[in-house]
């Protein structure tokens, strides 16, 4: 069977190109060998199920591995202890039918007395006593049931058995592994209809799971080497892996998606593509292709859904993506914690940021599209007026037109509105000009989190626009230096600076200046 880059479901090394993360499996297997109970909590499509699958494959000759999932079991199982307890025993048997049919038969022959959690606990003790070697229980998709009181009671039962086991007064599973997005140790659960939300900790016995499941550049490289050897493709592995990590921050789904685009899509979308030689241009193309406004995946759908379902979370993401705000990454803030759980946020030096550049660009496009819908009927800039003879864009003309637009339509708006939406207005008015022939993306620069740089590619031209708030002459000079340094990264001699001045006596000005050997056009609104 031909291998491919996988972006749906769990990965199989026989059918999919996978990063070599053997050392991470070793770390998890050490937890198991020590008899630890723990939870693997990571965002969607972050490799949790693949981790469980691989553990099952690697340990099946050493332990009896029981792999369950609560996805798709329905709600009736959680109606009562009488419905849950015997059903759980049957789930154990079904998981063992193929490779341990004799153990599955034993379960069914001894499970007839299970009527509640107490008798289920007794059954587990007797079952584990009869089995050699030790039994490992893995439960995937625990989020599907973790807001249910009965499931909390089940975890509490396993917790009690673990504590008694450690005192030599009971027998239970050697290790229990729960996998899901949320941390069941601190999940807020609604106990009964009409009661206040309480904080339960039925899993405070869990060992900390500190394994980094994101891919670093070296791990991404192993996937690329496997692919190149299989397909006869040439590339600079270290450079290509580094660029993929730059865009994805090692998010497993996104790493595979960037690669899959090139392998399966680029030939039909990019006439200059050479399928036998991957370059940095291919990775850049795949990033643009993945984050284009018209494209979505279930992963991106979840990203947007999680923001739209929580206004506070959306506003925090908006402040980072659009306003370039520097927010504190305090995990005591429940919204910061929730954003990290969903994989939206990460922290760097105590400052909150969007977890990867793919997500940041996707959110940038989404938030601009919302603005375009909300402002239907507002004047829009027309592309022909800003095209140059060489096929490039008259960026200075665009900035001046935006300045005119702001002075005419928004000079009387309150400062709070302009501070939050001014940048978004510019970005949304820019979109119709470049759509179809160009691409604009945000480029966060570490160390200056309030900075919002826009890089525009249009045909074969590239432009850098820095959007800043006016905070005095010294800050302005620092901004010019930053922009100059940034232009050096792109080997450009011309740059643009759009300044938002929220002072009452501001002036709408523009000037062309020479700074550090660069021509910089500055517009203030």
As beta bridge partners, residue 141 has none
The Cα 140–Cα 138 span in angstroms is 7
Element spanning 345, H or E? strand 345-348
Helix (H, G, I), strand (E, B) or coil at 318: helix
| pLDDT tens for each residue of 460-500 | 889 999 988 898 999 999 989 989 988 998 889 999 999 99
| pLDDT tens for each residue of 218-241 | 999 999 999 999 999 999 999 999
Q: How far is CA 121 from CA 9, 113, 127, 488, in A?
A: 33, 11, 10, 67
Burial class (CB in 10 A: 0-12, 13-18, 19+), 113: exposed
Residue written as token pair 């949304």: 428
Are the CB atoms for 461 and 439 separated by under 8 Å?
Answer: no
Are the CB atoms for 494 and 512 separated by under 8 Å?
Answer: no
Q: Is the pLDDT of residue 91 over 80?
A: yes
| pLDDT tens for each residue of 263-316 | 999 888 887 788 899 999 999 999 989 998 888 899 999 999 999 999 999 999
Structural tokens at position 335: 């919204």
Count of Cβ atoms closer than 10 Å to residue 376 Cβ: 7
Helix (H, G, I), strand (E, B) or coil at 270: coil
The Cα 286–Cα 307 span in angstroms is 25
Written as one string, the DSSP assignment of 410-429 is STTS-HHHHHHHHHHHHHHH
The mean of the pLDDT values for the chain is: 88
pLDDT category, 379, cuts 50, 70, 90? low
Tell me the percentage of the chain whose pLDDT exceeds 70: 91
Q: Using alpha carbons, select from 272, 293, 259 the residue that is nearest to residue 440.
A: 293
| pLDDT tens for each residue of 37-56 | 999 999 999 999 999 999 99
Helix (H, G, I), strand (E, B) or coil at 365: helix
Query: 1-10, 322-331, 401-410: which range is least confident on average?
Result: 322-331
Are the CB atoms for 286 and 388 separated by under 8 Å?
Answer: no
Residue written as token pair 């914690």: 337
Q: Using alpha carbons, select from 367, 376, 369 the residue that is nearest to residue 315.
A: 367
Vertex 101 angle, CA 95 and 103, to 5°: 80
pLDDT confidence of residue 163:
95
- Omega before 133 cis (within 30°)? yes
Q: Is the pLDDT of residue 412 over 80?
A: no
Query: 193-202, 299-308, 325-334: which range is least confident on average?
Result: 193-202
Q: How far is CA 9 from CA 46, 157, 222, 258, 386, in A?
A: 10, 31, 21, 17, 46
| pLDDT tens for each residue of 141-177 | 888 775 678 888 899 999 999 999 999 999 999 999 9
The Cα 155–Cα 160 span in angstroms is 9
pTM tops 0.85, yes or no: yes
The Cα 435–Cα 449 span in angstroms is 27
């Amino acid at each position: 069977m031909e291998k491919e880059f996988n972006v749906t479901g769990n990965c199989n090394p026989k059918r999919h190109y996978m990063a070599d993360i053997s050392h991470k499996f070793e770390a998890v297997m050490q937890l198991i060998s020590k008899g630890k109970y723990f939870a693997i909590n990571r965002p969607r499509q972050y490799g949790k199920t693949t981790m469980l699958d691989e553990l099952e494959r690697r340990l099946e000759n050493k332990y009896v591995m029981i792999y369950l999932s609560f996805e798709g079991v329905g709600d009736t199982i959680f109606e009562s202890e009488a419905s849950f307890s015997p059903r759980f025993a049957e789930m154990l048997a079904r998981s063992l039918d193929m490779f341990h049919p004799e153990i599955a038969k034993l379960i069914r022959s001894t499970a007839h007395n299970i009527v509640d959690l107490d008798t289920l606990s007794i059954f587990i003790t007797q079952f584990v006593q009869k089995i050699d070697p030790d039994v490992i229980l893995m439960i995937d998709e625990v989020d599907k049931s973790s807001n249910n009181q009965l499931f909390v009671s089940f975890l509490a039962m396993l917790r009690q058995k673990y504590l008694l086991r450690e005192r030599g007064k009971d027998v239970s599973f050697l290790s229990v592994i729960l996998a899901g997005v949320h941390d069941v140790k601190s999940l807020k659960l609604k106990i009964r209809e009409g009661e206040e939300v309480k904080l339960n900790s039925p899993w405070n016995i869990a060992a900390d799971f500190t394994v980094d499941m994101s891919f670093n550049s070296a791990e991404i490289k192993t996937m690329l080497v496997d692919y190149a050897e299989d397909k006869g493709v040439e590339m600079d592995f270290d450079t290509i892996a580094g660029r993929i990590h730059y865009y994805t921050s090692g998010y497993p789904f996104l790493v595979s998606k960037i690669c899959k685009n090139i392998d399966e899509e680029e030939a039909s979308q990019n006439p200059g593509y050479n399928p036998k030689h991957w370059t940095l241009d291919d990775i850049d193309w795949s990033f643009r292709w993945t984050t284009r406004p018209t494209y979505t995946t279930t992963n991106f759908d979840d990203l947007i859904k999680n923001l739209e379902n929580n206004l506070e979370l959306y506003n925090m993401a908006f402040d980072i993506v659009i306003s370039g705000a520097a927010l504190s990454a305090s995990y005591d803030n429940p919204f910061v914690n929730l954003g990290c759980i969903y994989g939206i946020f990460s922290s760097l030096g105590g400052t909150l940021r969007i977890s990867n550049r793919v997500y940041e660009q996707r959110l940038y496009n989404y938030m601009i599209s919302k603005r375009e819908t909300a402002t239907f009927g507002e004047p829009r800039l027309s592309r022909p007026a800003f095209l140059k003879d060489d096929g490039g864009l008259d960026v200075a003309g665009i900035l001046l037109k935006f300045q005119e637009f702001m002075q005419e339509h928004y000079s009387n708006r309150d400062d709070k509105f302009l501070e939050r939406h001014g940048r978004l207005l510019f970005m949304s008015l820019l979109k119709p000009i470049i759509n179809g022939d160009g691409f604009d993306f945000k480029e966060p620069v570490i160390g200056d989190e309030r900075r919002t740089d826009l890089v525009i590619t249009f045909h074969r031209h590239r432009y850098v626009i820095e959007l800043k708030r006016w905070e005095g002459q010294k800050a302005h000079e620092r901004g010019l230096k930053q922009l100059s340094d940034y232009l050096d990264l792109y080997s450009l001699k011309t740059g643009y600076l759009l300044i938002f001045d929220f002072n009452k006596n501001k002036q709408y000005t523009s000037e062309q200046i020479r700074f550090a050997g660069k021509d910089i056009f500055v517009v203030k609104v």
